[in-house]
Structure 1
Amino acid sequence: MMTLEFYVQGDQAMESLGAAIGQALDWRGSVWLAGDLGAGKTTLSRGLIRAAGHVGAVKSPTFTLVEPYELGQRTIYHFDLYRLADPEELEFLGIRDYFSDNSLCLVEWPDKGSGILPQPDLSIRITVDGEGRTLQIEGHGERGLAASQRLHSTRGKATP
């Protein structure tokens, strides 16, 4: 496992990092986004989704649980599990059908789906750090490690 750390200031920098993450994953796989309310999970997702070609608003799907973005041959699913009462509810949504080789799944509040969600390719923890945000990114599995290597070579510093 490789852990990367980034420090960003402002929405534009957060969105730019989101775009880089999408590119590093080749717009496929799964990303878990953890952090307090207002930490920047949706802002990071917005940057990634817009860089994939979506034009228009990107909002947190807090009440709908999932917002799909059909972008040509690929689909990005943006989940917000904050209001999920029980992880078993994800089974009723058919959660496993969303995770395919042709999709990218962004999951805010992944701890709410513990035991049901598959392992992510990247897990990202966002913390408020002064005027900006610190992001710790961990790659898991072959896809996540390859994406971490690409991010490291272009933007980040690795920590043991």
Structure 2
Amino acid sequence: MPVAPDSPFHLPASALLERRFVLENLAATESFGVRFALALEQARLLPDFNGLHVQLLGDLGAGKTALVRATLAGLGHRGRVRSPTYTLVEPYALARPDGELEVYHFDLYRFADPAEWADSGFRDYFDSGAVCLVEWPQKAGNLLGPPDLVFALNADEERRLLDARAYSESGKACLEQC
């Protein structure tokens, strides 16, 4: 997974489940996003589900935001999905029969120091039962805490490879459904 060698960012030592997906084109990325959205809906039904923390790794142009857009569309969002590059977070409240599903899309690319994460006040979003999708999590160092899922996207000449790793039971339940 692409992380700068001098970064204080470290992923948990072992994953509960690992899978690789070959995404041949944008349509395949969108299809995966819809499958992931359906998996999220199923994971929400688990008795121990308390939100989901998903980290998205990859270089510029690897498809992180495209995957988030597809996931939100799969969850029923019909409006515009803006990249939070400048706003840092874009919130989405999606109506469900049992109440709203809160989804927060973060982009930490512009952080110059992990302390900016600590100063941002975003920690509460991760403790609220929401789904938090985080692009460029390495910019927060280890302050984000352990993820439930990590999606690492790597683009080669004609396609994208998505290496997915689950680090919690909720993350594993989602990944098994994808």
TM-score of the two chains, using structure 1 as the length reference? 0.88
Identity %: 44
Secondary structure of 2:123's aligned partner: helix
Q: CA deviation at 1:38?
A: 0.3
Secondary structure of 1:125's aligned partner: strand
Matched with 2:170 is 143
* Matching of residue 76 in structure 1 with residue 99 in structure 2: no
Matched with 1:155 is none
Matched with 1:16 is 31
* Matching of residue 86 in structure 1 with residue 113 in structure 2: yes
One of 77, 85, 90 as aligned partner of 1:67: 90
Moved beyond 4 Å, runs of 4+: none
Structure 2: gaps of 5 or more residues: 1-15, 45-50
Kept in 2: contact 1:29–1:101 (CA 8 A): no
How is 1:94-113 mapped onto 2 (pairs within 5 angstroms)? 94-100=121-127, 102-113=129-140
* Matching of residue 38 in structure 1 with residue 53 in structure 2: no
Task: Name the structure with the higher strand share.
Answer: 1
Can you list the C-alpha shifts for 1:65-121, whole angstroms capped at 9, x where unaligned? 101011121111000000011112122221211113531000001111112102111
User: 2-side partners of 1:21 and 1:88: how far apart?
Assistant: 31
Secondary structure of 1:5's aligned partner: strand
Secondary structure of 1:25's aligned partner: helix
Can you list the C-alpha shifts for 1:6-57, whole angstroms capped at 9, x where unaligned? 0112222212211212222336401100001001000000000111121122
Structure 1: gaps of 5 or more residues: 152-160
Matched with 1:3 is 18
Matched with 2:8 is none
Kept in 1: contact 2:35–2:177 (CA 8 A): no
The aligned amino acid for 1:21 is F
